[in-house]
Amino acid sequence: MASGKLHIDLGAIVANWHALDGLTNAKTAAVVKADSYGLGAGRVAPALARAGADTFFVAIAEEGAALRAALTEAGFPHACIFVFSGHMAGDGALLRDHNLIPLLNSADQFRCHRDAGDLPYGIQLDTGMNRLGMEAADWAALRDEAERGPCQLIMSHLACADEPDHQENPAQLANFRAMTDGTHHPRSLSATGGVLLGEAYHFDLTRPGIGLYGGLPFADAIPVVRLSLPVVQVRQVELGEFVGYGAGYRPNSPRQIATVAAGYADGLIRAMTGKAAVYAGDTPCPLAGRVSMDLMGVDVSGLGSDVPDHLDILCPAQGVDQLADHAGTIGYEILTSLGARYQRHYQGG
């Protein structure tokens, strides 16, 4: 078959959740938005639920509805599901029918949700990131009414938690405390990076995301994915010949070039052209020529006649963050871009 194989270790995800949970005295949730960062929320969330997670976060109500179905089928119908985007126009039936909890981001969302009935909600506050959440004045005007209702959580989000010494971390912490001290509801400030900042940032609930899936800033994470790409063809390229679009790769000596079946349509970003490598075991094989939509050239001269059927682009020798460095991006983008054409194989969990 000409599609790549994406191996996803659910046991590693569970182990990473336990490790992050062990760093705090708070309750530990799991962020499974964007289909668990591209790895399949329908498989990841039930595995985490079996490990003890009972609270999950998604980006939009439609994700929450799909997650509710998967968790119910797996035997966890009462798991708590929060929706970061809050109560958007047209969300009322989804939120109600699938028992989803919107994180209300504005006074308008608060009024919209209140008018829909006595339904549970959370509050998201803006403590400096200027992305989502009520600002201090809006929250002050609504706080008494909000706290009388079925509020399940008050949260905010750190902008610079992956930079432990950044001055905005203590600034946002101080703002969060000023806005929420004295509340009777659970509070949450930390995703993966915040967990690593220490106890002052943990509050009642943490919500790791990228750390579950093997990415930085959780340097102790167990790798979760291996991506193996099929070799379609191997050829000899002579001096004076070139490889790929634009004739951009011209070897200075005869080279053995393999063509593998994957490209930017599969989430392997074109910017990694000329920088990344694939691996045969621990042996790196540099890309040769441009990353195109469905294919990539690879210099396998160092392998001689022993070219395997598949070459790995995500593996122990090159994790998501190392590959991201070659593409000038971050591990989040690598994971969430992994395409639908890969055969997904799950183990553990």
- 13 and 141 part of one domain: yes
Quote the tokens at residue 95. Answer: 């939120």
- 292 and 323 part of one domain: yes
The tens digit of pLDDT for each residue in 188-234 reads 999 999 999 999 999 999 999 999 999 999 999 999 999 999 999 99
Asked whether residue 277 is domain-assigned, the answer is yes
Asked whether residue 313 is domain-assigned, the answer is yes
Share of the chain above pLDDT 90, in %: 95
Q: What is the DSSP string of 224-252?
A: -EEEEEEEEEEEEE-TT--BSGGG-B--S
Whether residue 33 lies in the annotated active site: yes
- 181 and 302 part of one domain: no
Considering 245, 275, 279, 346, which one is annotated as catalytic?
245
Class of residue 310 by CB neighbours under 10 A (exposed 0-12, middle 13-18, buried 19+) = middle
Asked whether residue 77 is domain-assigned, the answer is yes
- 40 and 153 part of one domain: yes
Asked whether residue 302 is domain-assigned, the answer is yes
Examine residue 223 and say whether the peptide bond preceding it is cis (omega within 30 degrees of 0): no
- Among 168, 184, 213, the domain-final residue is 213
The tens digit of pLDDT for each residue in 225-275 reads 999 999 999 999 999 999 999 998 999 999 999 999 999 999 999 999 999
- 292 and 268 part of one domain: yes
- Among 213, 243, 274, the domain-final residue is 213
Share of the chain above pLDDT 70, in %: 100
The tens digit of pLDDT for each residue in 56-91 reads 999 999 999 999 999 999 999 999 999 999 999 999
Could you tell me the residue range of the domain that residue 229 belongs to?
A: 225-347
Whether residue 245 lies in the annotated active site: yes
Model confidence at 1: pLDDT above 60: no
- 109 and 242 part of one domain: no
pLDDT at 248: 87
Which CATH number does the domain housing residue 262 bear?
2.40.37.10
> How many residues does this entry show for the chain?
349
- 22 and 111 part of one domain: yes
Considering 33, 121, 249, 332, which one is annotated as catalytic?
33
Cα–Cα distance, 293 to 16 (Å, whole number) = 33
- 279 and 203 part of one domain: no
Total domains in the chain come to 2
Asked whether residue 1 is domain-assigned, the answer is no
- 86 and 50 part of one domain: yes
Asked whether residue 219 is domain-assigned, the answer is no
- Among 193, 213, 233, the domain-final residue is 213
- 92 and 27 part of one domain: yes
The percent helix, strand, coil of the chain (3-state, each to 5) is 35, 25, 40
- 170 and 201 part of one domain: yes
- 176 and 300 part of one domain: no
Which CATH number does the domain housing residue 82 bear?
3.20.20.10
